[in-house]
Amino acid sequence: MTRASVLTKSPLLRPALDLVLERIVDVPPELVWRAWTMPEHLTKWFTPAPWKTVACEIDLRPGGIFRTVMRSPEGREFPNVGCYLEVIENERLAWTNALEGGFRPTTTSTVCGEDAFFAFTAVISLAPHGEGTKYTAFVMHGDEASAKRHDQMGFEEGWGKALEQLVAVAKRM
């Protein structure tokens, strides 16, 4: 599991439950934010290739829906539904897949193309860093088994590849 130095002293970090991806990217926070919050941009990068994001719905406010549909290379589709918890423009975006829009608890969902569900809360933090952005993805899980499963599914590789794709899209905005 990856740990970010900025969070290691945070009271929120629970090493057995949390995964962190931290990178410096060479695009400004405003462009990273647009890539995360505008469906026409998010569908171009959100799912690591060769997977694709074929649908996206964003209601960018606390309680708003965050819905994507991922398509596998074989053509199988996986809907994912979440709820925004915190929206601070160009700084912080938090959502969970444990809730649907309107803070309604979810009954079913998939995670990263897997048929079995596990709940997580993700926080994307953006901070200016020179001409670019310090990007931190902090993903909290409710139990060790879920964190381990997410890690073994390729959290660092998948979220890292998606971030590389995000940067490529942001540079074309």
Separation of CA 30 from chain center: 17
Kindly report which listed range (10-24, 54-68, 69-83) carries the lowest average pLDDT score.
10-24
Taking the C-alpha atoms of residue 30 and residue 167, their distance in angstroms, rounded to an integer, is 12
Terminal CA-CA length for the chain? 33
Taking the C-alpha atoms of residue 13 and residue 3, their distance in angstroms, rounded to an integer, is 9
pLDDT computed for residue 4 by the predictor: 37
Taking residues 140-169, report their average pLDDT: 91
Give the predicted TM-score (pTM) of the model. 0.86
List, for residues 39-65, the tens digit of each pLDDT value: 999 999 999 999 999 999 999 999 999
pLDDT computed for residue 108 by the predictor: 64
Q: Which domains does the chain have, with CATH numbers?
A: 5-171 (3.30.530.20)
